[in-house]
A = this chain, B = another copy of it.
Amino acid sequence: VNDSARRVARSPERRIVAALADLFRPGTDRVASIGIGDDAAVLRKRSRGLVWTIDTSVEGVHFERRWLPLADIGARSFHAAVSDVAAMGARPIAALSSLIVPARLGERTVRGVVAGQADAARKLRCPIVGGNLARGDALSVTTTILGEVEKPFSRGAARPGDEVWLVGEIGLAAAGLRWLMSGRRATGLDASSRRAIAACVAAWRTPRALVREGLGLKSRARAVIDVSDGLSGDAGHIAEDSAVRIVLEERAIRRTLRPELFCVCEILRLEAFTLALTGGEDYALLATGPKRLRVRGARVIGRVVKGGGLSVQTLDGRLRAAPAGFDHFYRH
């Protein structure tokens, strides 16, 4: 909606851009002295260090339009991008957005997606200070987020002796996605199954970036990552970057799983524990840290030991290799 907006300003989309600017305006003054409508957003000076990330959601790859209300497409992409900032222990301060919207979808689609972005931006106190709007064959939403932090977390700071902490839920979003992919209808199922399905679908449709929780790990956690690819894959990243071995404990993980997950997995004939380990897009936080610094709300699901790689300690106490993580390219 900087240069981008200009590019469509003389086309029939003129009204959309004006509407976008209005939607995005709230809160921008706090962070930007020149926002939407110039070549680039001008950010006010900040005394802290900055972290910076970009994330893209593509129709047909990360979502199908029939699975999501338009506003959720916008909000979901926004939270996914902010989640990376949360995993650095940073506070999001501002965002830019770039939309690709097929011409056939028209103004209603843009407004719908943007309303969801604006809503997420408001809730996360991370105003959208500019962006871009382009035509293209498939709908996609790219969000770039700047965050500020004194001392960012990295994935490479886990140490042998650390506990492995889970903050937030895992598996629900993956179960919700599998339900949507199955194309099944919930009619005919009992009320509690329907509620469980609704909960899983909601977890996939409307994830929440755990910003406050990330800030709460400050001075306590050593390594932090957000579980966007699945617990197994993301735990593997910490192990690799920290040059340690991570042991995930099946018993402890099972205790964290919600009954809704077991219910939907039963309906879809999926194994709940495996889905929790490999399913992505929950945007929970996975951290390691010493026991004495464990934060409230963090559940211990494993331990860091010397060595390398990732293993799972099964219910019978044996160690086995961890399964691979979620692959966003499910369509291919």
Residues of chain A having any CB pair with chain B under 8 Å: 2-4, 6-11, 34, 37-45, 48-62, 84-85, 87-88, 90, 94, 96-98, 100, 103, 129-132, 134-138, 140, 142, 144-147, 149, 152, 154-156, 225-226, 228-229, 233-234, 237, 241, 324-325, 327-329, 331-332
Q: Are A54 and B226 in contact (CB under 8 A)?
A: no
Residues of B with C-beta under 8 A to A37: 155, 241
In the complex, what residues of B have CB within 8 A of residue A48's CB? 45
Q: Which 10 A-B pairs have the closest CB atoms?
A: A40-B53, A58-B136, A40-B51, A39-B84, A39-B87, A54-B96, A43-B50, A144-B144, A56-B98, A103-B332
Point out the residues of chain B lying under 8 angstroms from A132, CB to CB: 54-56, 142
A325 contact set on B, CB distance < 8 A: 10
Q: Which residues of B contact A45 (CB under 8 A)?
A: 48-50
Number of chain copies forming the complex: 2
- State whether A42 and B134 are in contact (beta carbons under 8 Å apart), knowing that A100-B140, A142-B56 are contacts in the complex: no
Question: Which residues of B lie under 8 Å from residue A155 when comparing CB positions?
Answer: 37-39
Q: Which residue of B lies closest to A324 (CB)?
A: B10
CA distance A2 to B129 in the complex (A): 22
Q: Which residues of B contact A147 (CB under 8 A)?
A: 40
Candidates B2, B38, B134; contact of A62 at CB < 8 Å: B134
Contacts of A154 in B (CB 8 A): 34, 38
A234 — which chain B residues lie within 8 A by C-beta? Answer: 6
Chain B residues within 8 Å of A11, by CB: 327, 329
Contacting pair A42 B10 (CB below 8 A)? no
For A84, give the chain B residue with the smallest CB separation: B39
User: Which of B7, B50, B58, B130 is within 8 Å of A100, CB to CB?
Assistant: B58
A134 touches B10 (CB 8 A): no
Interface pairs (13), CB distance under 8 Å = A3-B53, A3-B228, A7-B327, A37-B155, A39-B155, A40-B52, A42-B50, A43-B51, A52-B129, A54-B131, A62-B134, A103-B329, A144-B144
Contact residues in B for A38 (Cβ distance below 8 Å): 88, 154-156, 241
Given A3-B84, A10-B233, A34-B154, A96 contacting B53 (CB threshold 8 A): yes
Contact pick for A55, options B58, B87, B98, CB 8 Å = B98
Given contacts A9-B233, A40-B53, 17 further A-B contacts (CB under 8 A): A4-B55, A8-B329, A39-B155, A39-B225, A39-B226, A40-B51, A40-B152, A41-B51, A41-B53, A44-B49, A53-B130, A54-B96, A56-B134, A96-B144, A98-B142, A100-B140, A134-B328
What separation, in Å, do the CA atoms of A222 and B97 have in the docked complex? 28
Distance, CA A135 to CA B135, complexed state (A): 17
